[in-house]
Amino acid sequence: MNELIESKLGPCPVVPLVVPSDPETAIRVARALLAGGLEVIEVVLRTDAAIECLAAVAESLPEAMIGAGTVLSREHARKAADAGARFIVSPGLHEAVVDESLARGLPVFPGVATATEAQAAWNLGLRTMKFFPASLAGGPAMLKALSSVFRDVKFMPTGGISAGNLADYLALPSVLACGGSWLTPGSAIAQGNYQEVTNLAAEAVVIAKKIRD
């Protein structure tokens, strides 16, 4: 189930977060990210228009892999799947979200911050997890510790990631990809400066290639 998204993340293991305000803006942001070389994009369910925006982006950019983030409940997962999400990301571990996502045939990445949470996710059969909030939960050092125990698990750290520390996370073999909102700064989007989004995406691609190549 995860093979497709992992193959997409192989060339550039970075997942930008899009916080949508309206469908047109969400599409423009997603296009700017795609132009910068990022094909896997997470539209977070943090606004009233999020589901509508997710559907619009998924329909407009079939060449990209569009997922839903901040999925908090079974109902969120159901609506995201119906809107065209191709993967599900949660800030924490909630079994109903996992069940609904797997029933829909969607990869799901629940958030974990401790060994207890990672063990619970592992016993649900999950081998890829979001590590959140990465910087506050111990950063690369904590990931190294978790990886020594959960040797067959891949992590997607998110929270406090930036161009300045991206390489530190991607240098860890257990890191599948890094997620972050630094690639979609609200001030630039409010000004209609989508070129800045493209530039930040391209910068992330360069950093990732230096580490992974």
Residues recognised as catalytic: 42, 130
Neighbouring CB atoms inside 10 A of 136's CB total 11
Rounded Cα–Cα distance for residues 193 and 195 (Å):
5
Rounded Cα–Cα distance for residues 113 and 129 (Å):
10
On whether the CB atoms of residues 115 and 143 are closer than 8 A, the answer is no
Helices 194-212, 23-35: axis angle to 10 degrees equals 40
DSSP structural state of residue 110: -
Rounded Cα–Cα distance for residues 170 and 24 (Å):
32
On whether the CB atoms of residues 54 and 66 are closer than 8 A, the answer is yes
Neighbouring CB atoms inside 10 A of 78's CB total 16
Residue type, 115: A
Which strand ranges, in their side-by-side order, compose the sheet holding 128-131?
111-112, 128-131, 154-157
Q: Are strands 108-109 and 111-112 parallel, antiparallel or unpaired?
A: unpaired
